[in-house]
Amino acid sequence: MDKYLEEKLISIAKERISNEDPSHDIEHSFRVLNNAKRIAFEEKADLDIIIPAALFHDLIVYPKNDPNKHLSQEESAEATEKILSSIKEYPKEKIGGVKISIMECSFTKGIKPVLLESKILQDADGLEATGAISIMRTFSSTGRMKRLFYNPSDPFCKNREPESLNYALDLFFTRLLKVKERMHTETAKKIAEKRTEFLKEFLKELELEIGQ
């Protein structure tokens, strides 16, 4: 993709993506874009698909506790199709690949992507759910959802099943520490493994601080 078209897409993303939720704002899209481009370079994927898919994958976002949350990816894909269709420089034959990549992006739905670009986008987005940035995003969402930081009687889920909708720390055990196992590309696996080690160190320090 030439620089002019990429900058045009970035400009549209800045206008269209809401900054109301720090976990899914324009900076999130830029981080996913950077992750995706890094992986795509190693895996030799189509940047004409990767760039718009990464930029617009969270164009429509419902809160985690909203009953319409399951519609976020579908509505984002439809909105992205309209955007790309209106840009004369964008190759129309690749819009389908962008839509599929966005539709297959979600981890939580248990989707197994088919396209290489879909796998890369899911990996790039998934990397946001591990490492230092995942801690920031987890507690940002926690504030919006008004859930507790941790279960005071068993913060680290040693004797109970995790309840991530009720306790922020439980999300580490249901998702954040498991992200590396769900990576599709070798490039993303290496990044995720390093970030997972950081999460483990964070949990060790937290355990010392809260005396558990």
DSSP string, 40-76: HHHHT--HHHHHHHHHHTTSS---TTSTTGGGHHHHH
What is the pLDDT of the chain when averaged over all its residues? 92
Decide if pLDDT at 135 tops 90. Answer: yes
**Three-class SS of residue 93?**
helix
What's the mean pLDDT in 153-165? Answer: 95
Confidence of residue 169 (pLDDT cuts 50, 70, 90): very high
pTM (2 d.p.): 0.88
Q: Please state the separation of Cα 79 from the chain's center in Å.
A: 18
Q: What is the pLDDT of residue 23?
A: 82
Q: Which residues pair with 148 in a beta bridge?
A: 167
Where along the chain do the CATH 1.10.3210.50 domains lie? Answer: 130-212
Task: State the CATH architecture for 1-112.
Answer: Orthogonal Bundle (1.10)
Rounded to whole angstroms, the Cα distance separating 50 from 166 reads 35
**Three-class SS of residue 148?**
strand
Q: Which residue has the higher pLDDT, 109 or 10?
A: 10
pLDDT in tens, 66-111: 677 777 888 999 999 999 999 999 999 999 999 999 998 876 666 7
Rounded to whole angstroms, the Cα distance separating 191 from 77 reads 27
Domain 130-212 has CATH 1.20.120.640: no
Where along the chain do the CATH 1.10.3210.10 domains lie? Answer: 1-112
CA torsion 96-32-141-72 (nearest 10°) is: 0
Amino acid at 195: R
Percent residues over pLDDT 70 in the chain: 95
Q: Please state the separation of Cα 5 from the chain's center in Å.
A: 23
